[in-house]
Amino acid sequence: MVDFKNNIHAFEDKSNTDLFRAWILFKTISNPIISKILTKLLQIALLFHLPITFLIKISIFKHFCGGENIEECKKTIDKLWDSRIGSILDYSAEGKESENDFKQVYEQGMKILETSKNNEKIPFIVFKLTGLIQFKILHKINNNQMLNDEEQKIYNSFINRINLICEQAQIINTPVFIDAEESWIQGAIDKIVLALMKKYNQKQVLVYNTLQMYRNDRLMYLDKIIDTARRERFKLGFKLVRGAYHEKEIERAKEKGYKIPVHLKKGDTDKDFNKSLEICLNNIDLISICSGTHNIKSSEYLISLIKEKGLENNDKRIFSSQLLGMSDNISYNLAKEGYNVSKYVPYGPVREVIPYLIRRAEENRSITGQMGRELQNIITEQNRRKRG
């Protein structure tokens, strides 16, 4: 079994100063009141264009992001690769609405592909579909509503861009992850990604959809899509996650009066996440996976499944992934034992990345949040170093 408590490996490329900076950051955002004030400040800075980007850049941005552009990320990419951890560059511009913004996300995607050509340090590229098309159009498609002429034109151009990305990805052999989003547009995303999987996953897995296992219908969906793929002879790729919009999902369902689509007990999400790992590993001839989690028990469960099935640690169909600046104890210890590991490396102009940073700070406020874990690991390592 991999020892996820081994902080020596987890922090081997962090100096005492790095650790101290991380300690200050997590100590600050671990305090619910300060964290609330900080996220409000970030929102205000975003709204009123306050000139505090420099402050953000040397603090929270430095910890969670690779840089403002791909060039700036190269140091992080190299450093991670020294420990055999790949980077998934994630251009983190969110909530975009204009054609110019979508074009920019598309162009960044093409640049990432160029950078990943013959470059094992960048094993995947990733997209949020709402970075490439308006949310409201995906919402209409989700609800089987007709698009007007203008929307149809935008939709066609979006489909064209996604296909260009997949074609390029296929040429250079870099698989594409599509992130999962809110349940009220996820049906549209699933439909689009299914069509891409049918088209590009004929021989090997190029396109991965994301399954949020906090959803109470995802195991059923997984079973159904396995049947479809076996019948229609294409391969499946899934990034498995628990899901990032838990509170929002519950709030909206209550407000609009429909059945809550997510589990209400953390234990049920955990059970479904582990079950999805099991189902995928039972169908490993068909499915490639990326286990996107910071949860130690699920990471241990994946390892036990790999062993049970007699697969190699570095079986190319199985990856684990964590976010940059989080759960290094999982990433570094898995990589040390030869498992395939990658980190999401978000990048973009500081202002654009603020919503992502707010989410990282907010996670602290949920009872099961990450920061307690992160802070604990940092303190344990600091104490170990003090003791020599």
Site for ligand FAD in 333-352 (CB under 6 A): 344
- Interacting residues of 63 by C-beta distance below 8 A, sequence separation 6+: 21, 22, 25, 325
3-state secondary structure of 203: coil
Strand 318-323, strand 176-178: pairing: unpaired
* Residue 368 in the binding site for ligand FAD (CB under 6 A): yes
215/336 with CB nearer ligand FAD: 215
* Residue 80 in the binding site for ligand FAD (CB under 6 A): no
- Interacting residues of 94 by C-beta distance below 8 A, sequence separation 6+: 128, 130, 131, 352, 355, 356
156/368 with CB nearer ligand FAD: 368
3-state secondary structure of 64: helix
* Residue 269 in the binding site for ligand FAD (CB under 6 A): yes
Q: How far is the CB of 199 from ligand FAD (least distance, A)?
A: 21
d(CA 9, CA 335): 10
Show the site string, 186-215: x = touches ligand FAD by CB under 6 A, - = not.
------------------------x-x-x-
* Residue 130 in the binding site for ligand FAD (CB under 6 A): no
Strand 236-241, strand 207-212: pairing: parallel
Report residue 244: phi and psi, to 5°: -105, -5
Options 86, 123, 243, 348; binder of ligand FAD; rule CB under 6 A: 243
Options 34, 41, 195, 244; binder of ligand FAD; rule CB under 6 A: 244
d(CA 56, CA 217): 39
Q: How far is the CB of 243 from ligand FAD (least distance, A)?
A: 4
Q: How far is the CB of 369 from ligand FAD (least distance, A)?
A: 7
* Residue 131 in the binding site for ligand FAD (CB under 6 A): no
**Cα-to-chain-centroid distance, residue 191:** 20
Q: How far is the CB of 211 from ligand FAD (least distance, A)?
A: 9
For residue 86, give the nearest of 345, 350, 365 by alpha carbon. 345
Hey, what amino acid is at 94? E
User: Near ligand FAD by CB under 6 A, which window of 16-24, 36-44, 222-230, 291-299?
Assistant: 291-299
141/241 with CB nearer ligand FAD: 241
Structure token digits, residue 79: 């450093």
Q: How far is the CB of 334 from ligand FAD (least distance, A)?
A: 13
* Residue 321 in the binding site for ligand FAD (CB under 6 A): yes
Report residue 84: phi and psi, to 5°: 60, 40
Options 241, 334, 345, 361; binder of ligand FAD; rule CB under 6 A: 241
Please list the residues that pair with 241 across neighbouring strands: 212
Q: Which helix (H) or strand (E) holds 292?
A: strand 287-292
Please list the residues that pair with 90 across neighbouring strands: 346
User: Near ligand FAD by CB under 6 A, which window of 109-117, 146-154, 155-163, 240-248?
Assistant: 240-248
DSSP conformation class of 147: P
Options 134, 322, 329, 364; binder of ligand FAD; rule CB under 6 A: 322
Number of Cβ atoms within 10 Å of the Cβ of 313: 14
Q: How far is the CB of 294 from ligand FAD (least distance, A)?
A: 3
Options 9, 294, 317, 336; binder of ligand FAD; rule CB under 6 A: 294
37/264 with CB nearer ligand FAD: 264
C-beta of residue 77 within 8 angstroms of C-beta of residue 66:
yes
Q: Where do contacts with ligand FAD occur on this chain (CB under 6 A)?
A: 179-180, 210, 212, 214, 241-246, 263-266, 269, 292-295, 321-323, 344, 366, 368, 370
